[in-house]
Chain A
Amino acid sequence: MAAQNEPVGPRPLRAVPDDGYPNWEAVYRDNAAWVYRTLFARVGNRADAEDLTAEVFLAALRPLRLSASVGEVRAYLRVTARTVLAAHWRETMGREITSIDDIEQPPDSEEAISTAPQRVAHVLDSLPDRYRQILEMRFLQGNSIKESAVELGISVANAKVLQHRALRLAAQVNEGGQP
């Protein structure tokens, strides 16, 4: 506690931003994580999510007005991410697979980043047990097909078929159709 009684040097003086960002680095630091997560939730793999995140910031930062408020900057980044994702699907699959929709919530909120956990929970709930189990093991827990087959007490070939059918059914449920 002795050190506490010694005066310390002052901290550097910082201007308080008026509900905006002081520079592009602050914009990047504050928003990179949710932009990445938003894109990851819609492509499902790291490589694409990283490429698209880079594309968003490389496209968005230069024309960005720093006088914009934090909320405006985030809305602008989300719109940029929507455009980048749409172009990605057009170029790779020739059609839109997933999209970033208009929402009421702030772009950095969990609801805006991804509704996948809720949707998946709903889909899994409505599947027969074996279908639910194989999807949980393979997609959520990341088990290999072999491990999953052992756990389910079936052959690897049967596990593959089970996974294939489970995903078909899950897709039907997810698209609003009845199983």
Chain B
Amino acid sequence: MNARGLRRYVDDLLRGRRPKAFAPDDFEAAQIRTAIELRAARQGPDVENAPRPEFLTDLHRRLAEQMNGAPPEPAPKQSTTRRQVIVGTSAAAAAAVTAVSIDRALIGSPTEGPVSDVAARQLTPNDGSWQRVAASSDVPDGRMHPFDLGSVTGFVRRVDGKPQAISGVCTHQGCRLWFDAPDDTLRCPCHTTSFSPSGQVLTHQLPIAPKPLPSIMVREVNGVIEVFAPPRQGEPA
């Protein structure tokens, strides 16, 4: 029996302090257990039930010392360096989070807005060049003009006078889309998926909606419409 030890232990827990050890009997141990569970059941943004970023950063530094055998950042200027380490690591963490979100965006969810769709799903080859797909006069307003560059196939059309281009390959399993002009719809021959001329999925019979069609960078110069596409394999760009 150690009523004072128990009282102090519970008091420390309530004040968020590290509790002082004592030798509890069975019932005191049960009360400590309950007090711990009560504290752990707190919810809300201010509670301690999530690790502090400073703690995570500091532990990361200690682990790096252990794993690499040397401190990753020498610390001649103690205060500023520590701060830099924290900032640096948070930036790295933020970058990791960003990378994940980008991957998510690419995988896509049907709830995402059209703006992010366009931004995230643009076809952006590592090595590309502007390649002619049509004469300007071939693409009047409202006409869907197919093109096939070998590396990329798609459709270009004019919206409010400006050219837009999308991929012509179904995002489900890669079948080539055809344009159903009377319905103003791109159709997939494989699973009857259909897309709007802007690339949004209109209908599908799949368990999960396929992604919208990637847009392709397009420009109009000197009476020619060009898209930015990778070179055909085996040919110079």
Q: Which residues of A contact B59 (CB under 8 A)?
A: 28, 32, 50, 53-54, 57
Contact between A167 and B35 (Cβ–Cβ < 8 Å)? yes
Q: Which residues of B contact A142 (CB under 8 A)?
A: 14, 42
Contact between A7 and B124 (Cβ–Cβ < 8 Å)? yes
Chain B residue with Cβ nearest A138:
B14
Contact between B37 and A116 (Cβ–Cβ < 8 Å)? yes
A65 to chain B, nearest CB (A): 14
How far is it, in angstroms, between the C-alpha of A28 and the C-alpha of B96 when the chains are bound? Answer: 13
The answer to the question of A43 belonging to the interface, with a C-beta cut-off of 8 Å to chain B, is yes
User: From residue 178 to 207 of chain B, which have CB atoms closer than 8 A to chain A?
Assistant: none
Contact between A93 and B22 (Cβ–Cβ < 8 Å)? yes
User: Beyond A61-B63, A167-B10, is A139–B39 a contact (Cβ under 8 Å)?
Assistant: yes
The answer to the question of B21 belonging to the interface, with a C-beta cut-off of 8 Å to chain A, is yes
The answer to the question of A109 belonging to the interface, with a C-beta cut-off of 8 Å to chain B, is no
B28 to chain A, nearest CB (A): 9
Tally of chain B residues near chain A (CB < 8 A): 56
Contact between B17 and A47 (Cβ–Cβ < 8 Å)? yes
How far is it, in angstroms, between the C-alpha of A24 and the C-alpha of B31 when the chains are bound? Answer: 39
How far is it, in angstroms, between the C-alpha of A46 and the C-alpha of B13 when the chains are bound? Answer: 9
User: From residue 134 to 179 of chain A, which have CB atoms closer than 8 A to chain B?
Assistant: 135, 138-140, 142, 164, 167-168, 170-172, 174-175
Q: Which residues of B contact A28 (CB under 8 A)?
A: 59-60, 63
User: Beyond A28-B60, A45-B48, A57-B59, is A7–B128 a contact (Cβ under 8 Å)?
Assistant: yes
User: From residue 90 to 106 of chain A, which have CB atoms closer than 8 A to chain B?
Assistant: 92-95, 97-98
Chain A residue with Cβ nearest B55:
A50
How far is it, in angstroms, between the C-alpha of A121 and the C-alpha of B62 when the chains are bound? Answer: 38
The answer to the question of A21 belonging to the interface, with a C-beta cut-off of 8 Å to chain B, is no
B132 to chain A, nearest CB (A): 16
Give the size category of A's interface with B: 35 or more
Tell me if B's interface is mostly helix, strand, loop or mixed.
helix
B101 to chain A, nearest CB (A): 13
How far is it, in angstroms, between the C-alpha of A128 and the C-alpha of B105 when the chains are bound? Answer: 51
User: Beyond A4-B217, A53-B51, A58-B62, is A29–B93 a contact (Cβ under 8 Å)?
Assistant: yes
The answer to the question of B84 belonging to the interface, with a C-beta cut-off of 8 Å to chain A, is no
How far is it, in angstroms, between the C-alpha of A33 and the C-alpha of B31 when the chains are bound? Answer: 27
Contact between A98 and B93 (Cβ–Cβ < 8 Å)? no
The answer to the question of B56 belonging to the interface, with a C-beta cut-off of 8 Å to chain A, is yes
How far is it, in angstroms, between the C-alpha of A95 and the C-alpha of B28 when the chains are bound? Answer: 11
User: Beyond A32-B56, A37-B49, A45-B48, is A114–B40 a contact (Cβ under 8 Å)?
Assistant: yes
The answer to the question of B50 belonging to the interface, with a C-beta cut-off of 8 Å to chain A, is yes
Contact between B49 and A174 (Cβ–Cβ < 8 Å)? no
Q: Which residues of A contact B64 (CB under 8 A)?
A: 25
Contact between B124 and A48 (Cβ–Cβ < 8 Å)? no
A40 interface neighbour in B18, B24, B49, Cβ under 8 Å: B49
- List chain A positions with a Cβ less than 8 A from chain B: 4-8, 10, 24-25, 28-29, 32-33, 36-37, 40-50, 53-54, 57-58, 61-62, 92-95, 97-98, 114, 116-117, 119-121, 123, 135, 138-140, 142, 164, 167-168, 170-172, 174-175
| A-B CB contact pairs (8 Å), 26 listed | A7-B217, A25-B60, A28-B59, A29-B96, A36-B50, A40-B48, A42-B40, A44-B38, A44-B40, A45-B19, A49-B51, A53-B51, A54-B62, A57-B59, A61-B66, A93-B29, A95-B29, A97-B29, A97-B33, A98-B36, A139-B39, A142-B42, A167-B34, A171-B30, A171-B34, A174-B30
Closest 6 CB pairs of A and B: A44-B36, A139-B38, A47-B18, A10-B126, A44-B39, A120-B41
